[in-house]
Each structure stands twice: as structure tokens, then as C-alpha cells.
Homo-oligomer: A and B are copies of this chain.
């Protein structure tokens, strides 16, 4: 079973706002990349020491600092202090078991989103916490592990595709969220394919192993839905917040993103319903198959039992059994036995038991 709150007990008794990493430690050294751009200029570098990226803050460009790996608490704290983050925000960045949320601290907006991955081999949905901080002219993003989800965004910035270079920081934050949400569709698609395979298996060859699969995929869907449900509210709040950090041009894109999350939730719910349906059909398929077996076997037994009785009767050793001495006795016995079995077969067929 997925460990839902495995790290919680680590934190019991600590003062709130204590920045302690809760979660799996993923890579040895956090990788920090800095991208800063405006309409005309573009700069990208991997930052060795965090202090480097504070130098390059330029009010006219948009700076995007992406941190892969949140287990080195001191780095987070340095960045946090530099950008004036609230201690609770720093705590939440490293404590990677938050639920998706949006918090408006006036001078910046803090967003927590879950990035999902569907592992094809184990059919398990793994989740990673992404923290996005949207400030005036800068976006900070924190991932647990190095991944390729944001590569598309990087590519669009590099190649100056679409409106990303000309739009402001809030559009960049939107683009990051959009690429995360797009990933959800991929996960949904894979779950969908898994369900299709399950449905076909169920019809062709319903084995008990399907039950475990249904139970597992159901848990994944519950988990997925639980990750997306608060996201809906997050995007809605961001959309409706009249924060000056969210530029007007971004709002219409947020509405679009909101529609996407609704679609994901609805699909997840449809999948849940379909899973229940598969479960029901599986159970009665198994029951039908079993019934079929039992019925056939029982019918065979039922036909032979009276015959065996008759054979038993003429195996009795009474002195005076007139049938035994008849010339055609043996043939008569066979005739009776065949007649009994044929009439039983006819009766069963009429009753539609065969």
C-alpha cells in the first residue's frame, strides 16, 4: 500500500516553520538552473553555488530558477531568505507531502502541485511535489527529482516559440502548471489503456489475478483524483485572486487550464465508475463460469446415480430374484437404464438446464 503519511511522525513535536526535509532523498546534489529572458535576450545556465543566481536579478527580464532536489535544506533556506519567503513556505517546500494549494503572500504567490507519473511496469502512479513561487519578475520552481516535464517549456523559451518570451512571469508560471497538467492526461491515457486491457481480459479469460489488478488500479484512480481535486481549487483561486502578480493576459489561459483539470477529474470519475463496472461484471462472469461447471458436473452425476442404483439392485444376492433367470433380463436392464438416462436428458433440455 502506498504510504500516505510516512514522514509525518518524523515531524511530531517540532516547532512549526522548522525546515526539515520529509520525503525520500532522491539525488545526491540538487541541480539548480537559471533561465532569464525577455523579448530579445535569453540566458540559461546551471548554477553551481546558489549565490550566483541572486546577482543576475534584473527588473526587466523574467528570471526562472528551477531547483531539482529539495533535500538539501540549507540551499532552500538560502533561496528562501534571499527572496523573503515565509518560514512556513520553506517548510512546505521541503516537506513534500503537502496537498495542492495556493497561498497569496501579497509579495509572492506560493503554489504546490503534484506531478504524476505512471510506471508502466508496476502500473503504479508515482507522485512528486512541485512548488512554484511566482513573484514580481521571477518564478522559482522546486522539483523533488530531476525530470523532463519542463523541457518543453525550456524549449519554447529557447526557440522563442509562442507568446512565452513576450509574456511576463505569470505566463511562465502558467506554462509550468500547464505542462504538469498535460502530463496528467498522459497518466489518464495509460490508466485508460490499462482498463481496456483489463476489460478484454475479463471477457476472454477471467482469472482471479484480475481482481488484484482492479483493486490496484482503483487505488491509483482514487489517488489520482485526490491529487487533482484540490488542484481545481488552486487554479480557480489563482484565476480569481486579483493579485497584481497575475497579469490579465494570463487569466484567460488559466480559465483554459481550469477546464482541463475539470476534464481530468471527470475522466477519473468515469474511470472509477468503469472500474466498478468491470469488478461487477468480473464477479458475475466468475460466478457464471462456476455455475456452468457445477451444473454440468452435477447433471452427469445425477444421470448416473439412478443407473448405478439399478445395477446395484441386480447385484443383490437374493435367492429368489426372478429377473435374474430371465433370458432377456440383462438386455432389459440395459434398456431400462438407457431409457432412464435419455428421458432425464430430454427433461433437462426442456427445462433449459443443458
Name A residues whose Cβ lies closer than 8 Å to a Cβ of B.
1, 3-6, 8-9, 11-18, 86, 88, 92, 97-99, 101, 103, 151-152, 155-156, 161-164, 174-175, 178-179, 182-183, 185-186, 188-189, 192, 195-196, 199, 203, 208, 211-212, 215, 218-219, 222-223, 226, 252-253, 255-256, 259, 262-263, 266-267, 270-271, 273-274, 277-281, 283-288, 290-291, 293-295, 297-302, 304-309, 311-321, 323-330, 333, 351, 353
Contacts and interface: CB of A to CB of B under 8 A. Distances in A.
A285 B4 contact: no
A185 B8 contact: yes
B305 A300 contact: yes
Given A17-B163, A183-B12, A317 B320 contact: no
Copies per complex?
Answer: 5
Nearest to A267: B4
A12 B152 CA distance: 8
A188 B267 CA distance: 22
Given A286-B288, A329-B319, A301 B305 contact: yes
A290 B295 contact: yes
Which of A1, A183, A271, A274 has most chain B Cβ within 10 Å?
Answer: A1
Given A9-B189, A317-B317, 4 more contacts: A1-B274, A12-B183, A17-B163, A88-B252
Closest 6 CB pairs of A and B: A15-B162, A311-B312, A13-B152, A8-B185, A314-B316, A315-B315
Contact of A316 (B18, B174, B317, B326): B317
A196 B270 contact: no
Mostly, the A contact residues are: helix
A324 B329 contact: no
A151 B292 CA distance: 52
A328 B322 CA distance: 11
9 contacts: A4-B271, A12-B152, A13-B152, A98-B263, A300-B305, A305-B308, A311-B312, A314-B318, A319-B327
A155 to B, nearest CB: 8
Given A17-B162, A161-B15, A312-B311, A263 B185 contact: no
Nearest to A262: B99
A311 B304 contact: no
Given A211-B284, A285-B208, A302-B300, A163 B15 contact: yes
Contact of A309 (B185, B186, B253, B308): B308
B324 A317 contact: yes
B101 A259 contact: yes
A252 B17 CA distance: 11
